Structure 1
Amino acid sequence: MGTISSYATTAGKRYRVRYRKPDHSQTDKRGFRTKREAEIFLASTEVTKATGQYIDASESRVTIDALGVVWMASQQHLKPSSQAVIEVAWRIHVQPVWGNRRLGDIKHSEVQTWVSNLAARRSASVTIRAFGVLAGIIDVAVRDRRLPFNPARGANLPRKSGKERHYLSHEQVQLLADESRDNGTLILFLAYTGLRWGEAVGLRVKSLDLRRRRVLVQANAVNVRGTIIPGTPKSHEARSVPFPAFLAEPLALLAAGKGRNHLLFGDGEEYQPTPTPRDGWFAGARKRSCLQDLTFPEMLTLHDLRHTAASLAISAGANVKAVQRMLGHASAAMTLDTYADLFDDDLDAVAAALDIAKLGLARHPARTAE
């Protein structure tokens, strides 16, 4: 147990509590106006020590800057693309505001004000990511017993507005492929397999099985700050994806003359770079397609070809589980959440089937008794 003693100050008598921390080092806390206050503090301290919930006040004097450096180093398990966006959020939005602040001085209201101001200037995604970095750093501090709770948690965050998706018809996919010229096969491949851009350009010739009409997705080549870095697929798991028969011949032509370890798309040696959104070959093909088809989406993105693959597969009768496996989603629930709008026709079909069943019973009432 600790001890309580009084001492004189110019403002009158005050009380000091002297006690031992869990590591058996001695410390004290002074400034209590009454002995009762000192006794309550000492009693609560002994309880937290006994239950393993003791927090040393000196531990909360560390700055966010010091904790942030350690936290950023702990994110090395993430993919390079994820590390890059987190590093930008830390360097641009978190460190300049919170770097010099001591952990124990941060108030929830301050975090909320920062979030609101940032949301007024930047997108919801940027704001949420920056908040996640700050809150993540403090979460670790809480687990390390530097703070009893995280003052950042519970802040009101802006809502992300879903990006508009564009789904191409079979005719529009072919039009875009024709206008993409040398990259036409790549466009068809993306639109009928649902592979991400990095997964497609990361394919090797040995990943192509022309007999079974499958590609084995094992890599993902991602552009990180102008450098293409190969890694595993987004789900970290390899998957086998089918492609339609009409793609077998064009894919065979791409593989012709290349070794097993050569890249399927491009020259075989260098990863095909992502086309620039405003003046690259994809932008040109999209513009020419719009001139020929007034319904062609002007804001079509490469990722919309993945959405198109999902749409075409679902309209062809593929079930949710098959689409999930094709796209590499973590679960069928994720596929349903992402493409709920594409299953509206299924709901109509259910209603129509129920209507037919009801009419059948009305025409043959004897079946009801059976």
Structure 2
Amino acid sequence: MATIRKRTLPSGKTCWQADYVDGGGKRRHRQFTTKKEADSFLVHARGEVSRGIHTAESASVTLADAGERWLAKCAEVGLEQMTIERYRSTYEHHVKPRLGKTKLSKIGAPMIQSAVDEVAAILSRSSARKALSCITSIFAQAMRDGRASHNPAREVKLPHARRSGPHIDMPTKAELAAILKHTPARWKPFIRTAMLTGMRSSELRGLLWSDVNLDAGMIHVRRRVDRKGSFGPPKSKAGTRDIPLSQTSVTGLKAWKLQCPNGALGLVFPNASGRIEEHTNILNRVFWPAQIKAGVTVMRDALGEDGNSIQVPDAKFSLHALRHAAAALFIEQGFPPKKVQALMGHSSIQMTFDLYGYLFPSDDDDRNAMAQIEARLLSE
């Protein structure tokens, strides 16, 4: 039986207490400032009990506890270690500081929306999406464990992408040319392919010659390697894709194949022994030095020999910036959004717009194009 009664607390304050029996037959109660709040809660709680999905607040856990359980489950089901590390990074930096101390039973959609909006405002919509995905997964696992009655994160919407920015930091065409010019000959095929295909470093490091059809001028992305050198499928289902090559790129890869170190794996871009090259080696020995030689740098603080702070030139971009640059080249060439999505291996068109929406033609561009059509028509 469910009841609501008014109580006077030892402090002298009054409250309204909702009493009810949960799905396990245990009597529960919660206190509220007003009778209206107690009524609303009781209606909601009784509905959840009848559907067998109710979790009492006293039986609820904090989001931090649920987050650790979710990450442990990710490891238990065999997700890649690098994937788990990315999940944990998002959780530790964006989710736990904002919601970690709050019990799941007290977290509703408005609270999650506020946290997601804050991440988007401070960082980016992409970071906000990762945070929301993390929270959604935590609640989903908590529901499976009987620690949450529903998933309020599913009611949360990402803020709209800002078409005017912030823009992604990527090399200009002049910087790309300078970097390629100063890249050692042995690594030019790798850097050039990264610039022109938009493939991830993990996909390039795991690319096999059997995945490259030089006669058809096509790269078939079917695998990748993580930073620990383990093969796995592409990042998502959409990551399995085919990328066309220009004739110049085909010619360059044919020439590289004759020089490529042989190895049992048949890698396109192996190390000198024919085995998987480490990501950090490419950065430290190839990509960053090439940028410094090319003058594609930013000034960073460092300690001088006398212990005082000095400014020194440092490489401006990560390898992933080449992927962004390739997307910009696709868009500049006039590729439609769905084509860009396919080439980049994005799981949704929304992801493509979130990252590169500001690069696509704007409404003003469309109006100018219509005006040009009209001018040509009426001038005849």
Provide the TM-score with structure 2 as the length reference. Answer: 0.65
136 and 336 in structure 1: CA distance in 2 versus 1, 3 angstrom threshold:
closer
Stretch of structure 1 that moved more, 244-253 or 102-111: 102-111
**Separation in 2 of the partners of 1:163 and 1:21?**
51
Q: Who is 1:249 aligned against? A: 251
Aligned-residue CA RMSD in angstroms?
A: 5.2
Q: Is residue 352 of structure 2 the alignment partner of residue 355 of structure 1? A: no
Between 280-289 and 69-78, the greater mean CA deviation after superposition: 69-78
Match of residue 303 from structure 1? 320
Distance across 1 between alignment mates of 2:173 and 2:64: 48
Work out whether 1:178 is the aligned partner of 2:181.
yes
Matched AA of 2:27: T
What does residue range 1-370 of structure 1 map to in structure 2 within 5 Å? Answer: 1=1, 20-23=21-24, 25-27=25-27, 29=29, 44=43, 47-48=46-47, 51-52=50-51, 55-57=54-56, 59-75=58-74, 80-91=81-92, 102-104=103-105, 123=123, 128=128, 133=134, 136-138=137-139, 141=142, 144=146, 146=148, 150=152, 161-168=166-173, 173-181=176-184, 182-223=186-227, 227-236=228-237, 237-256=239-258, 258=262, 261-266=265-270, 267=272, 269-275=274-280, 280-290=285-295, 299-316=316-333, 318-330=335-347, 335=352, 338=356, 340-343=358-361, 347=366, 349=369, 351-360=371-380
Q: Is the 8 A contact 1:54 1:145 kept in 2?
A: no
What amino acid is aligned across from residue 164 of structure 1 in structure 2?
D
Structure 2 runs not aligned, ≥5 long: 297-314
Q: Deviations over 1:30-56 (max 9, x none)?
A: 999xxx99x979984895267527735
In 2, distance between residues paired with 1:205 and 1:325? 22
For 1:300 and 1:346, how far apart are their aligned partners in 2?
30
Letter in 1 for 2:288: A
Distance in 2 between residues matched to 1:204 and 1:152, nearest whole Å: 40
The amino acid across from 1:189 in the alignment is: T
Post-superposition Cα deviations, 1:190-245, rounded to whole Å, max 9, x if no partner, equal 2222222221121011112111111111112232xxx2443222332422211111
Instruction: Please give the alpha-carbon distance, in whole angstroms, between the structure 1 residues aligned to 2:110 and 2:90.
Output: 21
Deviation at 1:247? 2.4
How many residue pairs get aligned? The number is 340
Q: What displacement does 1:246 show? A: 1.8
Counterpart of 1:294 in structure 2 is none
Q: How far has the Cα of 1:184 moved from its partner?
A: 1.1
Distance in 1 separating the partners of 2:23 and 2:264: 62
Q: Deviations over 1:53-98 (max 9, x none)?
A: 7735355443444422322234457654442122134456766886
Question: Which deviates more, 261-270 or 319-328?
Answer: 319-328
Q: Percent identity?
A: 22
Structure 1 unaligned regions, length at least 5? 292-297, 361-370
CA distance in structure 1 between the partners assigned to 2:336 and 2:124 by the alignment = 33
Does the C-alpha gap of structure 1 residues 351 and 253 become closer, same or farther in structure 2, counting only changes over 3 Å?
A: same
SS in 1 for 2:295: helix
Contact 1:68 1:137 in 2 (8 A): yes
Q: Read off the aligned partner of 2:379 and give its amino acid letter.
A: L
Q: How far apart in 2 are the matches of 1:302 and 1:132? A: 25
State the one-letter code of the partner of 1:196. Answer: R
How far did 1:180 drift? Answer: 0.4
CA distance in 1, matches of 2:53, 2:286: 62
**Do the aligned residues in 2 keep the contact of 1:167 with 1:305 (CA within 8 Å)?**
no
* SS of residue paired to 1:270: coil
Does the C-alpha gap of structure 1 residues 260 and 333 become closer, same or farther in structure 2, counting only changes over 3 Å? farther
- Cα distance between partner residues in 1 of 2:347 and 2:109: 34
Q: What is the letter of the counterpart of residue 89 of structure 2?
A: V
**What is the SS of the residue equivalent to 1:73?**
helix
User: 1:233 is paired with a residue of what secondary structure?
Assistant: coil
Once the two structures are overlaid, the 10-residue window that deviates more, 203-212 or 70-79, is 70-79
Once the two structures are superposed, what CA deviation does each residue of 1:99-132 show, in whole Å capped at 9, x if it has no partner?
Answer: 6665456799998998999999x85689845676
Per the alignment, in what secondary structure is the counterpart of residue 62 of structure 1? coil
Residue 341 of structure 1 aligns to which amino acid in structure 2? Answer: L
Aligned-partner residue type, residue 255 of structure 1: K
Deviation at 1:335, TM superposition (A): 4.4
Question: Does the Cα contact within 8 Å between 2:60 and 2:147 map onto a contact in 1?
Answer: no
What are the Cα deviations for residues 309-353 of structure 1, in whole angstroms up to 9, with x where unaligned? 344445555555544433223456654662542546974555433
**TM value normalised by structure 1:** 0.66
Residue 270 to residue 135, structure 1, CA distance change in 2 (3 Å):
same
Q: Whole-Å Cα distance in 2 between the matches of residues 350 and 60 of structure 1?
A: 62
Structure index of larger Rg: 1
